Chains A and B, each alone.
Chain A
C-alpha cells in the first residue's frame, strides 16, 4: 500500500469511529419496539443533520472499504496491483453512489 492510500485509510478510519458509535446507538434506539419504515422515515425525512451525518459516513466508508478491498486483493488474490486498483475503484465508486442514493431515499422521499 502506498503512503497516500495508507493516510486516506487511517483518516477515514478515525473519522468513522464516532460515526460508527452513533450508528450503533441509532440501531439500538430504532429496534427498541420493532423497526418500522414509518419510524425510520419520520426521523430522516427532510433532516439536514441526518443527511450530512450519513452522507459523510457513506463517503468515508466508500474510500475506506475500497482501499481495504485493494489491499486484500493484492495480498490474497492473483490480481496484480493495477487490476486490483481498477476493481477497488469501481467498487468504491459503486458503494459511494449506492450509499448516497440510500441517504437521498430516506431524507428526500
Chain B
C-alpha cells in the first residue's frame, strides 16, 4: 500500500476506532477467564481465596489495571459512538476521543496506585 493510502491511519479518530475494536477483542478474550475464576466459588470459598492470593502478584495487579483501562476506554469510546449516532452532530470528536482515553488511563492508574 502507498503512503497516501495509509495516511488516514494517522488520524486520531482512526486510532480511536482501532482502540475500540482491539479493546473489545481483548475483553472478549478475557471474559471467559474472568467467569471461570469467579466460578471457582462453586467449589468453596477456599478455591476462590487461593486464586485471589495468587492474583496479589505485582504483574497480575498491573494486568488488572490494564483490563480496567480497556473496559473504560471501550465503554467511553462506545458511548461517544452512541451519541454520534443518536444525537445531533457535535464538533470536537478528536478531542472527545482523546479525553476518553485520558480518563480511562487516569482511572486505571488510580486503581493501580490503590492496589499497591
Contact = CB atoms under 8 A, between A and B. Distances in A.
Whether both chains belong to one complex is answered with yes
Interface of A: 10, 13-14, 16-17, 20-21, 23-24, 27-28, 31-32, 34-38, 40-41, 58, 61, 65, 68-69, 72, 91, 94-95, 98-99, 101-106, 109
Contact of B32 (A20, A72, A95, A103): A95
B71 A61 contact: no
B114 A28 contact: yes
Interface string B64-92: 00001001100100110110010000000
Nearest to A66: B28
29 contacts: A10-B82, A14-B82, A17-B78, A17-B82, A23-B71, A24-B72, A32-B114, A35-B55, A36-B52, A37-B45, A37-B48, A38-B45, A40-B41, A41-B45, A65-B24, A65-B27, A68-B25, A69-B28, A72-B21, A94-B32, A95-B35, A99-B31, A101-B42, A102-B36, A105-B38, A105-B39, A105-B42, A106-B38, A109-B44
